[in-house]
Amino acid sequence: MKLYDFTLAPNPRRVRMFLAEKGIEMPPTEQINTREAGQFSAEFQKVNPRGTVPALVLDDGTLLTESISICRYFEELHPEPSLFGRDAKENAVIDMWNRRVEIECYAPAADVVRNSLEIFKDRAIPGMPNGVPQIAALAERGRASVARFVGRLDQQLADNQFIAGDYLSIADQTAFITFDFAKRGELEVPADAKNIARWQSEMAARPSASA
Amino acid sequence: MKLYDFTLAPNPRRVRMFLAEKGIEMPPTEQINTREAGQFSAEFQKVNPRGTVPALVLDDGTLLTESISICRYFEELHPEPSLFGRDAKENAVIDMWNRRVEIECYAPAADVVRNSLEIFKDRAIPGMPNGVPQIAALAERGRASVARFVGRLDQQLADNQFIAGDYLSIADQTAFITFDFAKRGELEVPADAKNIARWQSEMAARPSASA
């Protein structure tokens, strides 16, 4: 088993946090520096033609991309402590919240970052080395979407210790890496989102936060 | 249990197909006509303030939105036949392919539809009654992304009967509803994608296709 990782990217961090929270030892890793176009090297394109990290290669050669799918693989092998839910309802509620964070917050935050930062000029979609021009209006739409989600999440965290309820789940980890990533697009959580601030400081205090 | 459904929308269809394929009887349903702004009625906003269908309300009052999360709930209650995988590797591979279809095909197809059709003028994001102007350049980007994914999927289906391997999975259902939905944006699968055409005709022949 081998994990292709990049310590400065948000999605590989989610996998590392997940493994840390479950007490699973990190598999052998190789760093793919996506800030220096390492994902487009001939060598890595042979591993993952999509040009994204994280990527996990199993011992039988199976390639797993998509950080959440990689986390699900480890969850199945090491069920305790569960971060995807312990019964049908928890599974569904956690999956729903994880998707909401991804669709209503991560995706629009990525729209902001990829469509406004100079470093992503002409490559506004992950995995594409060039040919995808930035769209300023999409960055603007992304800002509004993130603000809308922040309001909803603050409300959810007023009544719940964690995002999906009174237990830590993958949805918390997705949100935690999202808010850190969003800072690259100058999307700070506003000071009046007090419940998010409370949750963020609890998340930051966990050893997994530095994974 | 009650399912809020709309027969003309792609995501509720995915839930109906999933239930049909597993032989689960449809729960009591209510139609929410999203083409006539039914999702923004005061009554439905009380059920799901996000204004999206499908939405499943459990007997204890828990609201599940997100079609995939609803499918996972039923999968856990009725494991056979499995559409999310039978072991750690299948789980991960199916989840990965389902995500690829959603992120690389459904999302850009939705970008095309929502940012080009007159019916979505000023409401280019699901769940927002107005205030979100269309972005023509995003529709154009979406067309290119869908075309790229179609090439990748045709290659995958050259070596596999179904998207995730030699068994039907939720990834096939997601792709099937996606390609039907994409027609609304005049995104037809090109004639030279012969493996997709073979798979599509097999999917269309299953009784679940008309659910």
| Residue B71 and residue B100 share a domain | no
Question: For residue A87, which residues of chain B lie inside 8 Å, CB to CB?
Answer: 76
pTM comes to 0.97
Both tokens assigned to B36:
């006539």
Nearest CA among B46, B107, B115, B128 for reference residue A147: B128
pLDDT tens per residue across span A91-118:
999 999 999 999 999 999 999 999 999 9
Task: Enumerate residues 6+ apart whose C-beta is below 8 A from A192.
Answer: none
How confident is the model at residue B142, as a pLDDT?
98
Shared domain for B101 and B205, answered yes or no, is yes
Quote the CA–CA distance of A188 and A171 in Å, as a whole number: 19
Determine how β-strand A2-5 pairs with β-strand A29-31.
parallel
Write the ipTM: 0.97
The 8-class DSSP code of residue A162 comes to B
**Does the residue A40 lie in any domain?**
yes
Beta strand B55-57 with A29-31 is unpaired
B83 in a domain, yes or no?
A: no
B interface with A, Cβ–Cβ below 8 Å: 58, 62, 64-66, 68-70, 72-73, 76-77, 87-89, 91-93, 95-96, 99-100, 107, 124-125, 132-133, 135, 137-138, 141, 144-145
What local confidence, expressed as pLDDT, does residue B135 receive?
98
Tally of domains within chain B: 2
Tokens 């499943």 belong to: B56
Closest CA to A22 of A72, A86, A75: A75
Residues A42 and A119 in one domain: no
- pLDDT per residue, tens digit, chain A (211 aa), is 999 999 999 999 999 999 999 999 999 999 999 999 999 999 999 999 999 999 999 999 999 999 999 999 999 999 999 999 999 999 999 999 999 999 999 999 999 999 999 999 999 999 999 999 999 999 999 999 999 999 999 999 999 999 999 999 999 999 999 999 999 999 999 999 999 999 999 999 999 999 9
The boundaries of the domain holding residue A183 are: 88-210
Among the three residues B77, B100, B132, which one is the final residue of a domain in this structure? B77
Q: Which of A71, A93, A102, A104 to mutate to test the interface with B (most CBs of B within 10 A)?
A: A93
At residue A132, what is the residue type?
V
3-class DSSP state of A50: coil
Please report which confidence band the pLDDT of residue B190 belongs to, taking 50, 70 and 90 as the band edges: very high
Q: Do A88 and B73 touch (CB under 8 A)?
A: yes
Q: Which pair of tokens denotes residue B88?
A: 């750690």
Q: A19 by DSSP, 3-state: which?
A: helix
Confirm whether B43 is domain-assigned: yes
Measured distance CA(B195)–CA(B152) in Å, rounded: 11
Name the minimum distance, in Å, from the CA of A151 to any CA of chain B: 13
Q: Enumerate the residues of chain A whose CB falls inside 8 A of the CB of residue B69.
A: 92-93, 95-96, 99
